[in-house]
Structure 1
Amino acid sequence: MIPPIANRFVAGESPATALEHVRTLNDRNINAIVNLLGEHYDSRSPAAADAAEYRTLVADIGDSNLEACISVKPSQIGLDVGEDVFRDLLEEIVAEATDRDVFVWIDMEDHTTTDVTLDAFEAMTTTYDGNVGVCVQANLERTREDVERLADLPGKVRFVKGAYDEPAEIAYKDKAAVNRAYRELLEYAFEHFEDGIAVGSHDPAMIEHAIDLHEEYGTDFELQMLMGVREDAQEELAAEYEMWQYVPYGGRWKSYFYRRVMERKENLFFVLRAILDR
């Protein structure tokens, strides 16, 4: 059982608890990106099991009339086993999701997976009529070229700053440089994409920049934030813009919870207050 202190960031251990959280979000005009926690499996069996749970999840979402989609990690569905395993399991998920009219996001992991992830996205989004999205990371120097490649494809692209500690020879290490790259990527996307832009950021300055670009170019976009982070802002933004919350669930919640607590001092203070108030 997930302790109450972790419920801010993780929507329980079962699909039922995750979908119940989605219902509460939808009541607040916030959509949900549901993610089964898991990554870096080194055999096909657990990867196939998670892929099967995703297929069941999209069926449940499709039957429920909830405003929700799913997000999967390549290493969760077999990339560490082999590219062929990843492609096969991903296509099983995307095919089921397309039949159920449920959108599928492919998360981006560290730089060693970028090429295979983008190749899989291109194959899936062209085969399944744009029912797939992919994430790109502003801290990688290569990303501008990748975004130019993606501009004419169907589907969606999520722009994030990047959470992995990448080598200095291929990545921007300075915060100001990452912010500059993120701004420039958004500017390119709003000017050259017809739609399908997802702004994955909690940074008020970047969100405001995206809103300004939307007003300048008229390009449709959506905002995406994590469960448990700036939720008041999420609700305020949802009153005017398309807002999506990333909703993780599952038994492998401990490492995810630890990352959320350690990445922002506000999250750490929340946990400390909860402990002291017990």
Structure 2
Amino acid sequence: MIPPIANRFVAGESPAEALDHVRRLNERGVKAIVNLLGEHYDEREPVAADAAEYRALVADIAGSGLDACISVKPSQLGLDLGEDVFRAELAEIVDAAAEHGVFVWIDMEDHATTDATLDAYEDLTREYEGGERSSSDPESDSGVGVCVQANLKRTRADVERLADVPGKVRFVKGAYDPPADVAYKDEARIDREYRDLLEYAFEQYDGGIAVGSHDPAMIDHAKALHDRYGTDFEIQMLMGVREDAQYDLADEYEVWQYVPYGDRWKSYFYRRVTERTANLEFALRAVLSS
């Protein structure tokens, strides 16, 4: 059982609990990105099990009529076992999701996985052209998206490369701690990179922009860029963080909440509350107010 402090950040241990949370979100105008917790598997059994659960999850989402999609991690789908394993499992999930009209996000993990993740994303999006190849529903919301991290020095080139790829791109500052030779360490520099990447995307992309940030300044920057360029975008935030702001923003903008679930919640929870001081303070406030 997930303790009260952790269930602010994790929707439960089962798909049913996750979809119950999604239903409550939808009632408040917020959509959901559902993620089964798990990563860095070094055996095929958990890879196959999680991939099968994702395929079942997209059917559940489609059958429920909820505004939701899924998000998967490359190491969860066997990237540590080999790029061929990852690609095979991912392709099956994307194919199942396309059949059911459900969108698939590919999370970005540490910097060593960037090439494999972007290559798989680009190949799948060009094959499916947003998932339309396999979907029988002309109004389908299926497709594929990927995440890029502003703290990596390579990301400007990656964002330019992805400009004509027919998928979506989530822009985040970066939650991992890559070495200084591949990443910016100064927070002000990372903020500047994030702003510049968003400006390039709003000017050059034909929509498909996801602003993955809880920073009010960055969200305001995205709003201003939308007003300037008219490019469609969405805002993505984590479950349990600035939820009141999510509901307020949803009155005017498309807002998605990242909704993790599963029995591997402990490592996710501890990472979230320790990776940034603001998250730790938020967790402490949650304890005091519970």
State TM-score, norm by structure 1: 0.97
Q: Which residue of 1 aligns with 2:119?
A: 119
Q: Which residue of 2 aligns with 1:174?
A: 186
Tell me the secondary structure at the aligned position of residue 148 of structure 2.
strand
The 5-angstrom pairing of residues 75-90 of structure 1 reads: 75-90=75-90
CA distance in 2, matches of 1:274, 1:223: 24
In the alignment, structure 1 residue 255 sits paired with structure 2 residue 282: no
CA distance in 1, matches of 2:253, 2:289: 36
Q: Which residue of 2 aligns with 1:36?
A: 36
Tell me the secondary structure at the aligned position of residue 35 of structure 2.
strand
CA distance in 1, matches of 2:42, 2:87: 15
Q: Shift of the alpha carbon at 1:127?
A: 1.3
Which of 165, 171, 184 matches 2:177? Answer: 165
CA distance in 1, matches of 2:220, 2:288: 36
Which of 218, 241, 257 matches 2:230? Answer: 218
Tell me the secondary structure at the aligned position of residue 182 of structure 1.
helix
**Comparing 160-169 with 257-266, which one deviates more in the overlay?**
257-266
Q: Shift of the alpha carbon at 1:273?
A: 4.9
Instruction: Please identify runs of 4+ aligned residues in structure 1 that moved more than 6 A.
Output: none
State TM-score, norm by structure 2: 0.93
Q: Is the 8 A contact 2:149 2:174 kept in 1?
A: yes
**Comparing 257-266 with 24-33, which one deviates more in the overlay?**
257-266
Q: Deviations over 1:176-203 (max 9, x none)?
A: 0000000000000000000100000000
Aligned residues: 278
Q: Which runs of 5+ in 1 are unaligned?
A: none
Q: Deviations over 1:192-244 (max 9, x none)?
A: 00010000000000000000000000000000000000001000100000000
* 1:110 maps to amino acid: D
Q: Shift of the alpha carbon at 1:270?
A: 4.7
Q: Deviations over 1:100-153 (max 9, x none)?
A: 000000000111000000000011111122110000000001101001110001
CA distance in 2, matches of 1:175, 1:270: 20
Seen in structure 2, the aligned counterparts of structure 1 residues 102 and 277 have a Cα distance that, compared at 3 Å, is: closer
Which of 233, 245, 251 matches 2:257? Answer: 245
Q: Is the 8 A contact 2:175 2:275 kept in 1?
A: no
Seen in structure 2, the aligned counterparts of structure 1 residues 232 and 113 have a Cα distance that, compared at 3 Å, is: same
> Identical aligned pairs, as a percentage?
75
Q: Which residue of 2 aligns with 1:133?
A: 145
Q: Shift of the alpha carbon at 1:259?
A: 1.4
Q: Shift of the alpha carbon at 1:268?
A: 3.1
* 2:122 maps to amino acid: E
The 5-angstrom pairing of residues 8-19 of structure 1 reads: 8-19=8-19
CA distance in 1, matches of 2:226, 2:233: 7
Q: Which residue of 2 aligns with 1:235?
A: 247
* 1:140 maps to amino acid: L
What is the root-mean-square deviation of aligned Cα atoms in Å?
1.2
Q: Which runs of 5+ in 2 are unaligned?
A: 131-142
CA distance in 2, matches of 1:243, 1:273: 24
Q: Is the 8 A contact 2:33 2:256 kept in 1?
A: yes
The 5-angstrom pairing of residues 133-152 of structure 1 reads: 133-152=145-164
Seen in structure 2, the aligned counterparts of structure 1 residues 118 and 267 have a Cα distance that, compared at 3 Å, is: closer
* 2:233 maps to amino acid: F
CA distance in 2, matches of 1:73, 1:101: 20
Q: Shift of the alpha carbon at 1:263?
A: 3.2
Tell me the secondary structure at the aligned position of residue 231 of structure 2.
coil
CA distance in 2, matches of 1:42, 1:235: 39
